[in-house]
Amino acid sequence: MKLPNKRIIHRNLAYFYVGLIISFAFSGILNNHRNTWDLPTNYTYETKEFKIPVPVDKSQFKTKKQIALFAKKHYNKAKYLGNRIRGNKLRMFYKDNTIVDLDLF
């Protein structure tokens, strides 16, 4: 079996890298001139403050299952994805990019 010589390998690698350089140059131009082509640059978010009855017994928020039941009961517009507890704050995440923050104490 005859192996390709170094000149052919060098040529094929050069084609590959030229393709990468062109694609990176094109994506760089697109990113630098986003306003020209009306690509999205700004994202908006909306904050609404509302009150929900939180039980006085904070032990209800000890397991993930209990938090999921509470989350589904008080906000059933979208699918509940999960939660995070940091310190005294509970954050619940939903499928429609809604985030609900609760102060537990």
DSSP state letter for 27:
H
Q: Which residues of 16-42 are buried (b: 16+ CB within 10 A; e: fewer)?
A: eeeeeeeeeeeeeeeeeeeeeeeeeee
pTM: 0.48
CB 83 within 8 Å of CB 67:
yes
CB 82 within 8 Å of CB 93:
yes
User: Would you write out the chain's pLDDT as a tens digit for each of its 105 residues?
Assistant: 677 899 999 999 999 999 999 999 999 988 888 777 666 656 677 777 767 666 656 677 777 788 778 777 777 777 888 888 888 788 888 887 788 888 776
What's the confidence (pLDDT) of residue 40?
63
- In 3D space, the residue among 79, 72, 82 whose CA is nearest the CA of residue 95 turns out to be 79
> What is the number of other CB atoms lying within 10 angstroms of the CB of residue 75?
16
Q: Whole-angstrom Cα distance, residue 98 to residue 105?
A: 22
